[in-house]
Amino acid sequence: MKRWATILGRGGTTLIAISLALLLVSLIPQIQMMSSEGSGRLPPGGMQILFYQQNLNPQQELEVAVTADGPLTVYLLEINIELEFSPNTGFVQRFNETDLQQILQENRDLIIWEDTVENGDYKRSYTPTRIMNATAVLYNQLDSESVYVEHDVALKSSLAPGDKVRTIAYFAVPIGVILMIPWLVNMWKERKQSQTPSAIL
Amino acid sequence: MGKGKPFLEVLASAIHEDFRFPFLELFAFLYTLGTFALANFTVGVYSQMATNEAVAYAVTTSLISFSLLIFLILVFKNIAYGLGNELEKGIIQTYFSYPLKRRAILTAKLLSGIGFSLLLFLGIQISAFYILAPDIVLPQFGTIVLTYAASLSYPLFLSAIILLLALKLRRGGIGLVVGFILYIAMSIVSGLVLIVATATKSPLVLQIMSFISPNYALQYHYGGLATVPELSLPWTPTLYEATLYVVGSYVIVAALFILGYTYFSRRLNL
């Protein structure tokens, strides 16, 4: 019984030590790697690319905030946008409404988000679970009216996804404390027993 | 009484000695912190042509780097210092009163000193990797296992040498010092091997070194060093060849441990 209490107790203290390390990791602040803001009117059937990056990794978090005065759709797609150089216009993104429609109809597995923004604010963040391409797109449906949009996109880098790590630590600490209790009680009893004879003497 | 119970008694006693409070907690904390602090998911993406396997290899290597050093420190503490001290002070003789063969006693000591440390290392590492990138861990599990096997071969080689030193020297303090000197010397040799290979443009020394540290073979297989022009060599081992180097290195490690067992069972006069 005493041995089991020791094994569980040490398991508990180890769990607490791991949780403290996880909490410490989650407290290390994120570094903002990129941020872009913009506003404008999006016509019916119009599309705007908010963000694109090759190799978005699990230590990065993409934050998208959109304010619109009408309905529109925010897509996060698992695609890479290629740039095409033209002497007149410079680099141009090779992705247009037709490409988006093709993905929506034929390659729906490339869609990570498909969120509708009704008149108001929209905010969402994404941390990938592998290294992947990511492109955030705003799209105004053909049958709707022109919409005024304000957007704010940020890419942050951290050691680990803070929320996930913190949640694990919050669950692990109480489990560790519960496992520790019998061990601590045993230790306290042993100390008390060893102190009693000397107190009498 | 069967043989299982005395063995478990010795194992429990060894674990109790090797991981006195708060050593286990401290090392678990360092493993966790080191794994997250040095994880680098950008390492595998410099090359546009990087395969999923190469990315998994690069990410795993970045996760392992610091924790391997902590693992080695733990092995130094448990084997060079711990076992060395027990031999020096004659504590190990008390285990001979158990109805166990010497090799079973050494197995219990090694399971505690190396096995338990390895379990802690792998448990924390793979859990952390899964928390960070589950979609890399599951599809590339084979690559990740091979990378761990290749990366752990060299520390286990050093552990076997440290065990032999501890058995030969029978002193805790000096075993620890010699172990650290050996580690530094081996690190210098590893650096020199790379310089010699690139200077002579011949992979021969790297191929020999790959039997001790098969991570070189795996690194060249996945093209990790080929992206650095100064370190590129006419050597691209296939996966089969890289796996053979890993197997070969474990044969050497096993031979060294068998030597340790033989010495402890037959030649060590206690």
pLDDT tens profile B167-185: 998 888 888 888 889 889 9
Alpha carbons B220 and B237: distance in angstroms, whole number: 7
Judged by DSSP in three states, B198 sits in helix
Contact at CB, B33 and A25, closer than 8 angstroms: yes
| Residue of A79, A89, A199 whose CA lies nearest to A137 | A79
Residue where the block lists tokens 């729906």: A108
Cβ-nearest to B28 among A3, A17, A57: A17
Per DSSP, the three-state class of B187 is: helix
pLDDT band at A200 (very low <50, low <70, confident <90, very high): low
Which residue do the tokens 């929506």 mark? A104
Q: Order the strands of the A60-68 sheet from edge to edge.
A: A31-42, A147-157, A60-68, A120-126
Residue A13 at interface with chain B, using a CB cutoff of 8 Å: yes
Q: Is residue B260 classed as helix, strand or coil in its secondary structure?
A: helix
Output the pLDDT for position B190: 86
Longest dimension (CA), chain B: 64
Report the distance separating Cα B173 and Cα B171, nearest Å: 6
Place of tokens 């069972």: B265
B44: chain A residues, CB-CB within 8 Å: 131
**Does the pLDDT value for residue A177 go beyond 80?**
yes
Cα of A7 to nearest chain B Cα, Å = 10
pLDDT at A83 over 80: no
CA-wise closest residue to B72 among B223, B176, B213, B205: B176
Q: Residue A2: pLDDT above 70?
A: yes
Residue pairs spanning A and B at CB distance below 8 A: 82
Suggest the residue from A78, A131, A133 to mutate for an interface test with chain B (most B CBs closer than 10 A): A131
Question: B22 preceded by cis ω (within 30°)?
Answer: yes
Cβ–Cβ below 8 Å for B136 and A159: no
Please state the ipTM of this predicted complex: 0.88
Selected residue with higher pLDDT from A21 and B202? A21
Q: Which of B21, B124, B133 sits opposite A18 (nearest CB)?
A: B124
Give mean pLDDT, residues A128-150: 92
Q: Does B227 have pLDDT greater than 80?
A: no
Among A18, A31, A133, the strongest candidate for a mutation testing the B interface, having the largest count of B CBs within 10 A, is: A18
Alpha-helical (H) ranges within chain A are 2-27, 97-106, 162-200
* Contact call for residues B32 and A18 (beta carbons, < 8 A): yes
The pLDDT score that the predictor gives to residue A199 is 52
Among B residues 41-80, those touching chain A with beta carbons less than 8 Å apart:
41-42, 44-45, 55
Residue whose pair of structure tokens reads 């030969």 in the numeric block: B168
Task: Tell me the pTM.
Answer: 0.88
Interface mutation target, options B15, B24, B29, B130, chain A, most CBs of A under 10 Å? B29
pLDDT (average), residues A13-23: 96
Residue B16 pLDDT exceeds 70: yes
Instruction: Give the C-alpha separation, A124 to A113, whole Å.
Output: 10
Measured distance CA(B29)–CA(B67) in Å, rounded: 11
Cβ distance of A21 and B32 shorter than 8 Å = yes
Task: Kindly tell me the burial class for residue B231, based on how many C-beta atoms sit within 10 Å of its own C-beta (0-12, 13-18, 19 or more).
Answer: middle
Do residues A128 and A90 make contact, with C-beta atoms less than 8 angstroms apart?
no
Confidence band (pLDDT; 50, 70, 90) for A95?
confident
Which of A131, A164, A168 faces B41 most closely, judged by CB atoms?
A: A131
Contact assessment for residue B177 and residue B207, using Cβ atoms and an 8 Å cutoff = no
pLDDT of residue A3: 81
Contact A157, A33 (CB under 8 A): yes
Is A129's CB within 8 Å of B131's CB? no
- Span B33-39, average pLDDT: 90
Does A38 score more than 90 pLDDT?
yes
Q: Model confidence over B106-154: pLDDT tens digits?
A: 999 999 999 999 999 999 999 999 999 999 999 999 999 999 999 999 9
Report whether pLDDT(B49) > 70.
no
* 3 state SS of A127: coil
CATH code for A30-158? 2.60.120.380
Q: Do A130 and B135 touch (CB under 8 A)?
A: yes
